[in-house]
Amino acid sequence: MWWPFLISLCAVSIYASPPIDRRALVARYNPTRNASSSTTPMQVGNGNFAFGADITGLQTFQPWAIMSTWGWKNDSLPAGKTLADVYDYTGVSLDNHGRLVEYMFNGAAPMQQWMISNPNRANLGAVGLVFWSENGEVLDITESNLTSIKQELDLWTGTLTSSFALAGVPIEVKTTSAQSVDSIGVTVSSPLLESGRLGMSVDFPCNDGSLKFADPFVGTWNNASLHTTTLDASPRGNIHAGITHTLVNSTFVTSIGGDAFTIARDSPDAHRYTIRPAATAGVFSLSTTWGLTSPKSVLSPAAISLSSSKTWEQYWSESGFVDVLTGSTDARADELQRRIILSRYLMRVNEAGDYPPQESGLVNNGWYGKFHLEMFFWHCQHWALWNDWDLLLRSSDVYERFLDTSIARAQVQQGWPAGARWGKMSDPSGRSAPGQINELLIWQQPHPLVFANYEYRAFPTTATLRKWEAVVRNTADWMAAFAWFNATTGVYDLGPPMYQVAEDNIYNNTYNPAFELAYWRLGLGFAEAWMERLGEPVPSNWTIVKEGLAKLPVNNGTYKVFEDVNDDFWTDPTYINDHPALAGLHGWLPPTEGLDLETARLTTEKVWASWNISNVWGWDFPLLAMSAARIGEQEKAVEWLLHPLFQFDDVGMPIGGVRVPTPYFPGSGGLLYAIAMMAHGWDGSNGTAPGFPVEGWNVRAEGLSTAM
């Protein structure tokens, strides 16, 4: 029975060329270093947890962070304030077409600032090597004392191997991260262990939310009196020691297992603990687990290493894959392939957690470690196109989790008749930080409709429809409610007040931003289709608003950023220095109802010529590449992805540029979204690799899904 089937499968695959040699391509880009970087760590991790390493594979010389999706803390409240003041906080009332609506900002320091910077994300600690002299004194070693330094991250297994020598004696450290728990396994090999001259340390920083950007390092190491640690060195199961770290009211537990050791606090004035191997063997392995509570047991270092290699091998073998290198003659293919592979690694380490990621993933803290719902698209929607549904589904139900608070924001706080209004700069409870832009930005609103739509394309079942039904309904209800019927013009307007994507308008009088109008149409269309598939009536307000929304503002053959902007905004520094969302009308977005493709093309080309490209950053480059791909300018699409101002460092970290610190991961997420679209296609595209030039490029994609 199955012979003919097998033969036909073979025939097809021989005809279509053999599968991509994924392992060889991944290994080609294993990052290597021979010195620590002053700006980025090497990392191992699992999406919810990441460990940043210096040249020793640990945090011996540089305090790179150990970060998680669950490790948050509140700083002490301002004098005289209680947590009740958070809930009692009131904002300003702004006029929304004759109705006063409350927005959460009032400039009232210090409570407003506390609510912006709290809770903030904690750095869980640091693990390092300790060196002793022959007579047992602690040696003060710096990186310059090391020789024969070699470090390589094996991407295929997630194994970081660091080797070096001290006074000619070799040391090797292997570091891996477990995948189902937040643990690292460390195996140290060195003759120094045999002579009892090498050990390890764990240390704990003080963290506070005083810095909006805590980079490159998070926390301070000299404020010992502001936090506490307690050691429990009595073994429990395979846990040899536990250290409880308390910062204000938050407690984090570090549990250590592996080979036998003794542990002691260095001094009562520090939170550093020294670990001395019990045996004088040439190899010492440790496993360290971080959590909110103490686990019953910890994984062995060997089990952690196995968990790492199995998970990574499966990820590289079974998810989507793109080969732009093999058979390409274009000299840029190598760098583009490097960016793809390293972005795939770093997204899996930093951006595959239970919550949307912050801009700097789990490397350091930006915006106090909070995440931004408008950025969720750029961070995580590529998972849908690369078919990493297990990873995307970890966080995409945040819309269900935040639904109640978003309904309350729309209806209780702001008095809209229906729906849920999604917040922006969020913490795990769903509270959005106070602030004008945080409260008045609107382009995050249609995102869940896109997330839902991609999920339905992959899993077209009633279960998917039901799962997203309440989110879809409430999202669209608020979109319909927010659109305001302008009796003078007879159309529905968006705003005022509101901020457009670029955040550069005056919120009080701006209305009808082009990108948001198109996105509203697209989103309401997705919502209508959702109810039709469910066999339920489509709320008439959705259709009335979708059909009745203002036309995209246009002047002399090109679209405008918003309706009341001056026609010469193209030369006004106010409007050409931030996200070029106008180019996304046809590119990032598929054609929406009423979009004139020729006008969109001229607009895109005018953006390329007019925007201040030296001031754009991160996801703007993939956005521009997608607009080029859609209009058949494939060479331009590749140029945008490799633009000199869009840089990825030696380990693939996206450089922040003039506006934000490094890394700025929306650049990596955007790159992978654009690559999937260009390599595999979008609704209505033709042929293979429709976003790449034919000349010089041989592009193959496996296991990708089509972009909208």
CA pair distance 385, 383, nearest whole angstrom: 6
- Residue whose CB is less far from ligand NAG, 201 or 319: 201
CA distances from 160 to 54, 156, 255, 582 (A): 11, 11, 22, 42
CA pair distance 491, 409, nearest whole angstrom: 26
CA pair distance 339, 344, nearest whole angstrom: 8
570 binds ligand NAG (CB under 6 A): no
Interface map 652-691 toward ligand NAG (x if CB under 6 A): ------x-------------------------xxx-----
Q: Which of residues 586-605 bind ligand NAG (CB under 6 A)?
A: none
- Residue whose CB is less far from ligand NAG, 460 or 557: 557
Q: Which stretch binds ligand NAG (CB under 6 A): 14-22, 55-63, 75-83, 395-403?
A: 75-83
| Site size toward ligand NAG, by CB under 6 A | 49
Burial class (CB in 10 A: 0-12, 13-18, 19+), 266: middle
Interface map 3-42 toward ligand NAG (x if CB under 6 A): -------------------------------x--------
Q: Residue 426: enclosing H or E segment and its boundaries?
A: strand 425-426
Locate 499 and state its tokens: 């901020």
Among 17, 262, 461, 489, binds ligand NAG (CB under 6 A): 489
Question: Which residue is associated with the tokens 């540029």?
Answer: 657
Q: Which of residues 494-513 bind ligand NAG (CB under 6 A)?
A: 506, 508
Q: Which of residues 514-543 bind ligand NAG (CB under 6 A)?
A: 541
Q: Residue 451: which of 440, 437, 467 has the closest Cα?
A: 467
- Residue whose CB is less far from ligand NAG, 8 or 429: 429
Q: Which of residues 417-446 bind ligand NAG (CB under 6 A)?
A: 417-418, 429
- Residue whose CB is less far from ligand NAG, 263 or 565: 565
**In the complex, least distance from residue 21 CB atom to ligand NAG, rounded to whole angstroms:** 25
**In the complex, least distance from residue 316 CB atom to ligand NAG, rounded to whole angstroms:** 24
Among 9, 139, 278, 694, binds ligand NAG (CB under 6 A): 139
Among 231, 248, 270, 303, binds ligand NAG (CB under 6 A): 248
What are 53's strand-pairing partners?
A: 42
73 binds ligand NAG (CB under 6 A): yes
- Return the beta strands (E) in 69-226 as ranges: 72-73, 92-96, 99-103, 120-121, 126-131, 146-154, 159-166, 169-177, 183-189, 198-203, 213-214
Locate 263 and state its tokens: 């542990």
Q: What is the DSSP code string of 601-632?
A: HHHHHHHHHHS-GGG--TTHHHHHHHHHHHTT
Interface map 91-130 toward ligand NAG (x if CB under 6 A): ---xx----------------------xx-----------
CB contact set of 186 (below 8 Å; sequence gap of 6+): 57, 58, 127, 173, 174, 175, 200, 258, 285, 286, 287, 288, 301
Does residue 693 come out as left (phi exceeding 0), alpha (psi in the -120 to 50 range) or beta?
beta
Q: Which stretch binds ligand NAG (CB under 6 A): 136-144, 188-196, 337-345, 584-592?
A: 136-144
Burial class (CB in 10 A: 0-12, 13-18, 19+), 486: middle
CB 128 within 8 A of CB 59: yes
CA pair distance 513, 563, nearest whole angstrom: 6
Q: Which stretch binds ligand NAG (CB under 6 A): 40-48, 248-256, 304-312, 342-350?
A: 248-256
**In the complex, least distance from residue 562 CB atom to ligand NAG, rounded to whole angstroms:** 11
Q: Which of residues 284-313 bind ligand NAG (CB under 6 A)?
A: none
Q: Which of residues 347-376 bind ligand NAG (CB under 6 A)?
A: none
CB contact set of 254 (below 8 Å; sequence gap of 6+): 124, 125, 202, 204, 242, 243, 245, 288, 289, 290
Interface map 191-230 toward ligand NAG (x if CB under 6 A): -----------------------------x-xx--x----
CB contact set of 293 (below 8 Å; sequence gap of 6+): 253
Q: Which residues bind ligand NAG (CB under 6 A)?
A: 34, 72-74, 76-77, 82-83, 86, 94-95, 118-119, 139, 141, 144-145, 167, 220, 222-223, 226, 248-250, 417-418, 429, 477, 480-481, 486, 488-489, 506, 508, 541, 556-557, 563, 573, 577, 612, 614-615, 658, 684-686
